[in-house]
Structure 1
Amino acid sequence: MTAPVRVPLPQDLGRHFPGDALVRLEGVTKTFPARRGAAPFTALDGIDLAVRRGSVLGVIGRSGAGKSTLIRLVNGLERPTGGRVIVGEAEISRLPEAELRRERRGIGMIFQHFNLLSARTAAGNVALPLEVAGYDRAAIRARVNELLDLVGLTAQRDRYPAELSGGQKQRVGIARALATSPKVLLSDEATSALDPETTRSILDLLARINRELGLTILLITHEMSVIRAISHEVAVLDQGRIAESGDVFEVFTRPQAAITRTFLDHETGRALPPVLAERLRAGQPGEGDSAVLRITFRGPHATDPVLAQLVRDAGIVACILSGTVDEIAGKPFGTLVVSVDGHPEIVARTQGFLRERGLDAEFLGTLPADAWPAPRSETRHVA
């Protein structure tokens, strides 16, 4: 038997790789060779990524961003062109095939379209990886019963996939992925084929599995709502590179990359109502125009009555144009889009007042005087 390629932990971890990282991608590149006259295609380009032990990391990106390639590298279905892929202490990217098959027992996988065997019952599908691994019948029966109970399908154990709903099929897929007690669970768009209500139930199940079993989860999705529901950290993939990554609350409330802001526009209330967006103009306000600001409420002042304070303490009137109040990762968060008197001194004082209280105040543009009612401050400003 060929021993797995091991890497020392945690001494060789760089600043991008915390000591509790269970999955690591170090400088990973994947280029597919030219086909039918087309040029070679680089799906991933210099990816550095770490999944902390016991955490849920969501990777989001548009179609073609490299998400599926990334997850196939983690379970060894693809080999990187360059860099290293490490799960636990095994360098997956360099294992010989026989050892890779054994290591895969520690890497569970759930799929978008379930991938169940139609000729096997729910119990039979869950039992399959245990049979392949050589477990005896009694152990298989006990483990299958345990897993079907975990995913809430004890009553459906003898039903075939054609007799199950989409959500039930995915629960079977999750139970099967957990059969060999993996150290990490990979989820490839596991909810994108499901309706919203079923999606919520599946995400609740995955969150419970992470919480109760301490299972590390790497999930791939194109929906920020999925990231928001269960992830602790997020990485935004764009054209084969990581555009942004970090704590979910930080990325959701202070996105830095343009693609992240695009994903978040509708998820966190950042998108302007169409009636407002079509009237908004770039550039600084002129005489009689209004300035439009987006206020982001986060941290210790997220629930403070700042607009009332703005009027009372600074004499500045702000008209609410749109807004949302919500919670992300258990922390209060909200956005308000407001208009204020467009005079530069009023705009500067408004932004300064808000930033002193730890709130972001982003200037979005101008509403011409003839396009929207203009607020006027109660104090005189210097001409």
Structure 2
Amino acid sequence: MNMLSPTAPLERGVTPSPPPGDALVRFEGVRKVYPPRAGNASFVALDHIDLSVARGSVLGVIGRSGAGKSTLIRLVNGLEKASAGRVIVDGADITGMSERDLRGVRRAIGMVFQHFNLLSSRTAYDNVALPLEIAGVAAADIRRRVEPLLELVGLADKRDRYPAELSGGQKQRVGIARALATRPKALLSDEATSALDPETTRSILDLLGSINTELGLTILLITHEMSVVARIARQVAVLDAGRIVEQGDVYDVFTRPQHATTRSFLGAVSGQKLPGWLAGRLRAEARPGDQTVVRVVFRGPIATDALVSGLVKTHGVDVNILSGAVDEVAGRPFGALVLGLPADPATLTLALAWFAGHGLDAEVLGHVG
């Protein structure tokens, strides 16, 4: 069935995992340089980008403001041209395509925006119908396409409402339905939840996850929030100053970050960030009566095991839990505890050996009175 056919019915069902190496979008040695402006030097927005988005997957790209995220996503639909390298979408190199050829590519790529970009003079139904009207689709065929989409995003009863009458989450659902109208193969989400409150963010991410599963849609998710990546993505790339500094399976990257930028993003996830009252009191050298502060990271099934109490019962070690949490990353448990242990070398060695013997990573952070 032609995914771009606006008259085709919505297809549902669990999508099988894509075969290895089956990338819908590929960046090969991509570099993007903006020319000098107003006396300023040229600016390298992206450099040496090698990245693949597997067909049917959800890839999160995370980075701070100015890291190059928006430039990267605009390269996928040809709104920006790479200065070097190749951007390949569904087997076609779009780097040197004409605007005429790019129109066909763009119909196969949906876009969801941070600030919704809805037309205030059009109802929810008419906003979703807009790309089909532009494509010259007949009104009856538009209706057969738009009504199921509004139902899919949970807005069938809001079809005649104008954007001013909708909440932020409802506006974004209209934006998602509009992005799906032309039956795209890929959906680009550019900070789509950053203007929403946490509860609404979760509902939108759950909707995107359902769309990925039910329609087999490939999603490239741009964000500056690790919590967004943790909830929906299975692969992640960390962007810093125009370069990918780390990429891989979300769970692996989250639980064993290798780069300082990744670790800084993870600071607030699952109890890894030290409370202010504790961080300000840490000392490098122990004093009499101090506790040694140790962070213990839990992964997989053992994240819910009672290993701290086991240390207390087995070895009689006095353990003070200072902070921590257990969360879920990519559907698997993950957490961290910050513990206070007696500042005694023998006891500390015993405790660290206990954690290592049970497959946990333990790191000494310092000492506190």
Larger Rg: 1
- CA offsets per residue over residues 257-290 of structure 1, 9 Å max, x none? 112121111122111112211111125x355433
Does 173-182 or 92-101 show the bigger shift? 92-101
Secondary structure of the residue aligned to 1:83 is: strand
Cα-to-partner distance string for 1:338-376 (whole Å, 9 max, x where unaligned): 122223333222212211111010111122xxx2xxxxx
Matched residue, 1:201: 203
- 2:133 maps to 131
Match of 1:98 in 2: 100
Q: Matched residues in 1 for 2:155 and 2:180: separation?
A: 14
Does the 8 Å CA contact 2:303/2:326 hold for their aligned counterparts? no
Alignment of 1:212-251 (within 5 A): 212-251=214-253
SS in 2 for 1:94: coil
The one-letter code matched in structure 1 to 2:235 is E
Higher relative contact order (CA 8 A, sep 6+): 2
Aligned to 1:6: none
State the distance in 2 between where 1:300 and 1:121 align: 48
Q: Secondary structure at the match of 1:115?
A: coil
Render the CA deviation track for 1:14-52: whole Å, top value 9, x for unaligned.
xxx951221111111111000011010011111111111
Q: Letter of the aligned partner of 1:20 in structure 2?
A: D
Q: How many residues align?
A: 351
Matching residue within 177, 180, 185 for 2:179: 177
* 8 Å contact kept, 1:55–1:210: yes
Per-residue deviation, residues 175-209 of structure 1 (Å, max 9, x unmatched): 11001110010001111112222222211111111
Map of 1:337 onto structure 2: 338
Q: Which runs of 5+ in 1 are unaligned?
A: 1-16, 372-383
Deviation, 1:148, is: 1.1
**Aligned residue for 2:91?**
89
Q: Which residue of 1 aligns with 2:31?
A: 29
Measured after TM superposition, the shift of residue 238 of structure 1 is 0.8
- Give the 3 Å change call, closer, same or farther, for CA 163–290 of structure 1 in structure 2: closer
Checking the alignment, whether the CA contact within 8 Å between 1:299 and 1:358 is kept in structure 2 is no
Matched, 1:354 2:355: yes
Q: Structure 1 residue 61: deviation in Å?
A: 0.9
TM-score (norm 1): 0.88
Unaligned runs of 5+ in 2: 1-18
Q: Is the 8 A contact 1:65 1:239 kept in 2?
A: yes
Tell me which amino acid in the other structure corresponds to 1:237: L
Q: Secondary structure at the match of 1:309?
A: helix
- Structure 1, 121-130 or 344-353: larger mean CA deviation: 344-353
Matched, 1:363 2:367: no
CA RMSD of aligned residues (A): 1.7
Bigger drift between 213-222 and 296-305 goes to 296-305
Aligned amino acid, residue 219 of structure 1: L
Q: Does 1:20 align with 2:22?
A: yes
Normalised TM-score (structure 2): 0.91
Match of 1:320? 321
Q: Deviations over 1:188-246 (max 9, x none)?
A: 11111122222222111111111111111001111112112211111111111112112
**Contact kept in structure 1, 2:46 and 2:68, CA below 8 Å:** yes
Partners of 1:87 and 1:364 in 2: how far apart?
A: 46
